[in-house]
Chain A
Amino acid sequence: MTVKYHWLILCAILGASGCSSLGVKPWERYELARDDMLMDSDPVDLALDEHIYFSKEASSGGQGFAGGGCGCN
Chain B
Amino acid sequence: MQLGKKKIAGLLSAATCSLLANPVQAEEHDWDIDSAVLYYSEDDDRVDAFEPVISGKKDLGDEESLSFKLVLDNLTGASATGAVPSTQVKTSTRPSGNGTYTVDPNDTPLDDTFKDTRVAFGMTWEKPIDRNNRRTLGFNVSGEYDFASASANALWAHDTNQKNTTYTAGINVEYDYIDPVGGAPEGLTSMDAQDKNDTDDRTIVDLLFGITQVIDKTSLFQVNLSLSESSGYLTDPYKLVSIVDNTTGEPVDQLFENRPDSRSRQSLFGKYKKMFANKDIFTASYRYMTDDWGIDSSTFDFTYRFKFNKGYFIQPHLRWYTQTEADFYTYFLREDERVPGDASADYRLGDMDATTYGFKFGREFNDRHVWSVRLERYEQSGDSSPSEAFGQLDQQDLYPDIKATIVQLSYSFQW
Residues 369-410 of chain B, each 1 if its beta carbon lies under 8 Å from chain A, else 0: 000001000101000000000000000000000100010101
Residues 140-168 (chain B) with a chain A CB within 8 angstroms: 140-142, 144, 146-147, 149-151, 153, 155, 161-165, 167
A8 to B223, CA, bound (A): 11
CB distance from B122 to the nearest CB of A (A): 5
Given A16-B211, A58-B348, A73-B79, does the pair A25, B269 have CB atoms closer than 8 Å?
no
Check if B330 is an interface residue, CB within 8 A of chain A: no
Number of interface residues of A (CB under 8 A): 49
Given A19-B161, A20-B161, A68-B141, does the pair A37, B281 have CB atoms closer than 8 Å?
yes
Is B174 touching A69 in the complex (CB atoms < 8 A)?
A: yes
Given A20-B165, A39-B212, does the pair A71, B178 have CB atoms closer than 8 Å?
yes
Interface 9-residue window, one of B18-26, B192-200, B214-222, B241-249: B214-222
Is B289 touching A59 in the complex (CB atoms < 8 A)?
A: yes
A15 to B167, CA, bound (A): 11
Residues 268-296 of chain B, each 1 if its beta carbon lies under 8 Å from chain A, else 0: 11110101000001000001111111011
Is B220 touching A39 in the complex (CB atoms < 8 A)?
A: yes
Is A59 touching B53 in the complex (CB atoms < 8 A)?
A: no
> With a CB–CB cut-off of 8 A, which chain A residues contact B186?
none
A62 to B206, CA, bound (A): 10
Residues 123-142 of chain B, each 1 if its beta carbon lies under 8 Å from chain A, else 0: 00000000000000010111
CB distance from B91 to the nearest CB of A (A): 21
Is A45 touching B410 in the complex (CB atoms < 8 A)?
A: yes
| A64 to chain B: closest residue by CB | B208
Check if B87 is an interface residue, CB within 8 A of chain A: no
23 A-B residue pairs with Cβ-Cβ distance under 8 Å, sorted by A, are: A1-B292, A4-B266, A11-B225, A22-B165, A32-B214, A39-B220, A43-B55, A44-B53, A45-B410, A47-B71, A48-B38, A57-B297, A57-B321, A57-B348, A59-B299, A59-B321, A61-B226, A64-B170, A65-B206, A68-B122, A68-B140, A68-B142, A70-B147
Q: Give the top 3 A-B pairs by smallest Cβ distance, nearest first.
A: A69-B149, A23-B164, A71-B147
Binding site for A on B (CB under 8 A): 34-36, 38, 40, 49, 51, 53, 55, 69, 71, 73, 79, 114, 116, 118, 120-122, 138, 140-142, 144, 146-147, 149-151, 153, 155, 161-165, 167, 170, 172, 174, 176, 178, 204, 206, 208-209, 211-218, 220, 222-226, 228, 236-239, 265-271, 273, 275, 281, 287-293, 295-297, 299, 305, 321, 323, 326, 348-349, 352, 354, 360, 364, 368, 374, 378, 380, 402, 406, 408, 410
